[in-house]
């Protein structure tokens, strides 16, 4: 599975994240698909506890399920990653994120700045509702599985299988699961960005920029804007310094 893509995209350490999954069969099926295509990391966010317990007894993908992590907040699941991608059936409009067709994903990844192999998250929303706008605001882009308009919505386990197949097919899966060491020129991971974002939001609240009525929508916009900047660890340090100075001044 390891190796470079013909178009030059580096392999990534992928983390498959199921957000609010409800059906234990889907969790089990997703784990099996990960195992089939050489993916090791499964994370569950806000998984319905009984489903999660039941899924652990599923056949196939036992190793993946055993080492899966269940967390309460999306931020925990994507924090260490420098790239987060959401999945969508693409029938929804106004997603306010770049939408990449799954078949074009290898080329899209190849174009991204930085050749270093990194950790990336691929998010799947709940069976009923998909990813929420808030969840999508944590994503750099959305991956659309090219289903037909008459029947756009895929079964969760099958959607995971198709995405894992496509990434493995193009050699975009890194076999080594060693965490990458952070360098100044590397893209900042989502944990650093979220921390920066929360500090910036607090400052904007203090200076009265955020209005109670539009606060929620504005914060989603700002988070997307921050992700789109493609900040490096160095950039985050610089911006953190600026924020610290403003915070200090506001405390006076």
Per CB under 8 A, does 37 bind a copy of itself?
A: yes
According to DSSP, the residues that pair with 15 across neighbouring strands are 41, 121
Q: Which of 83, 89, 53 is nearest to 70 (CA)?
A: 53
Q: Which two tokens stand for residue 78?
A: 């994507």
Give the one residue of 92, 165, 186, 218 binding a copy of itself; rule: CB under 8 A. 165
Residue 167 · residue 37 · CB < 8 Å: yes
Tally of residues, the chain: 252
* Closer residue to a copy of itself in complex, CB, 36/132: 36
Name residues contacting a copy of itself, limited to 52-71 (CB under 8 A): 60-61
Q: Chain centroid to CA 74: how far?
A: 9
Give the one residue of 18, 154, 172, 193 binding a copy of itself; rule: CB under 8 A. 154
Which residues, other chains included, contact 112 with Cβ-Cβ below 8 Å and sequence gap of 6+? Answer: 83
Per CB under 8 A, does 29 bind a copy of itself?
A: yes
Per CB under 8 A, does 106 bind a copy of itself?
A: no
Cα 88 from Cα 131, distance rounded (Å): 8
CB of 23 to a copy of itself, least distance (A): 11
The pattern of x and - marking residues 114 through 153 that bind a copy of itself according to CB under 8 A reads: -------------------------------xxxx-xxxx
- Count each helix (H run) and each strand (E run) in the chain, helices first: 10, 7
> Binding segment for a copy of itself among 29-37, 110-118, 195-203, 211-219 (CB under 8 A)?
29-37
Q: Which residues of 106-140 are buried (b: 16+ CB within 10 A; e: fewer)?
A: bebbbebeeeebbbbbbbbbbbeebbeeebbbbbb
Per CB under 8 A, does 4 bind a copy of itself?
A: no
Per CB under 8 A, does 33 bind a copy of itself?
A: yes
CB of 92 to a copy of itself, least distance (A): 16
Binding site for a copy of itself (CB under 8 A): 1, 25, 29, 32-33, 35-38, 60-61, 102-103, 145-148, 150-155, 157-159, 161-162, 165-166, 168-169
């Amino acid at each position: 599975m390891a190796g470079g893509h013909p178009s030059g995209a580096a392999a990534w350490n992928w983390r498959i994240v199921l957000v609010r999954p409800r059906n234990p069969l889907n969790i089990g099926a997703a784990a099996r698909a990960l195992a089939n295509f050489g993916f090791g990391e499964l994370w569950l966010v806000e998984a319905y506890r009984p489903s999660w317990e039941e899924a652990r007894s599923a056949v196939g993908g036992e190793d993946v399920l055993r080492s899966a992590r269940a967390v309460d907040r999306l931020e925990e699941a994507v924090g260490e990653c420098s790239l987060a991608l959401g999945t969508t059936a693409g029938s929804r409009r106004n997603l306010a994120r770049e939408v990449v067709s799954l078949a074009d994903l290898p080329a899209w990844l190849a174009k991204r700045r930085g050749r270093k192999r990194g950790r990336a998250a691929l998010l799947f929303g709940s069976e009923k509702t998909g990813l929420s706008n808030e969840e999508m605001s944590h994503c750099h882009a959305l991956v659309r599985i090219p289903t037909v308009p008459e029947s756009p919505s895929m079964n969760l386990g099958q959607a995971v299988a198709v995405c894992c197949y496509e990434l493995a097919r193009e050699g975009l899966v890194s076999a080594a699961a060693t965490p990458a060491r952070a360098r100044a020129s590397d893209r900042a991971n989502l944990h650093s960005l979220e921390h920066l974002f929360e500090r910036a939001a607090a400052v904007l609240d203090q200076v009265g920029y955020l209005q109670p009525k539009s606060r929620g929508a504005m914060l989603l916009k700002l988070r997307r804007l921050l992700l789109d900047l493609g900040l490096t660890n160095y950039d985050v340090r610089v911006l953190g310094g600026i924020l610290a100075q403003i915070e200090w001044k506001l405390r006076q």
